[in-house]
């Protein structure tokens, strides 16, 4: 059974940084795309950043220049380095993995930015 386990969320002051990690298992699971989505209270879940197995990357406009997504295919892990955080980044962040048009989700990790 596929599992995605996120870590690295927490409370940070505005202007600070956090790094999220997501490990996919089992090791034989080889998703084409991995990424991060977020959902703030009262809002729809939105794409934050996506990275393909080959290294192609997409970012939401709101995080360009501040967030960096990376991926270690050998470890089946995707990372999200978040810098210059602001209150609008407060949300539950979900790891996503996609293979053969099937989406898998982590349980979510809370990121709270205090002003």
Is pLDDT of 96 > 90? Answer: yes
Is pLDDT of 85 > 90? Answer: yes
Q: Are 12 and 81 in contact (CB under 8 A)?
A: no
Section 31-46 average pLDDT: 96
CA–CA gap between residue 77 and residue 75 (Å, rounded): 5
Q: Are 69 and 36 in contact (CB under 8 A)?
A: yes
Q: Mind giving me the DSSP string for the chain?
A: --EEEEE--EEEETT--EEEEEEEESTT---SEEEEEEE-TTS--EEEEEEETT--EEE-GGGTTTEEEEEEGGGTEEEEEE-S--GGG-EEEEEEEEETTEEEE---EEEEEE-
Phi-psi region of 28 (alpha: psi -120 to 50; beta: other; left: phi over 0): alpha
Q: Are 91 and 82 in contact (CB under 8 A)?
A: no
Q: Are 6 and 24 in contact (CB under 8 A)?
A: no
Specify the pLDDT at position 6.
96
Query: How many residues make up the chain in this entry?
Result: 115
Specify the pLDDT at position 27.
83
Is pLDDT of 57 > 90? Answer: yes
């Amino acid at each position: 059974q596929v599992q995605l386990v996120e870590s690295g969320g927490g409370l940070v002051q505005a202007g600070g940084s956090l790094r999220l990690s997501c490990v996919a298992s089992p090791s034989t699971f080889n998703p084409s795309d991995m990424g991060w989505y977020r959902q703030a209270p009262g809002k729809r879940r939105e794409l934050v950043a996506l990275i393909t197995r080959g290294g192609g990357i997409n970012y939401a406009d709101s995080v360009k220049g501040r967030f960096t997504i990376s991926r270690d295919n050998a470890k089946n892990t995707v990372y999200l380095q978040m810098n210059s955080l602001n209150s609008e980044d407060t949300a539950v962040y979900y790891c996503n993995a996609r293979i053969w048009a099937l989406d898998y989700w982590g349980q979510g990790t809370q990121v709270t930015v205090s002003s």
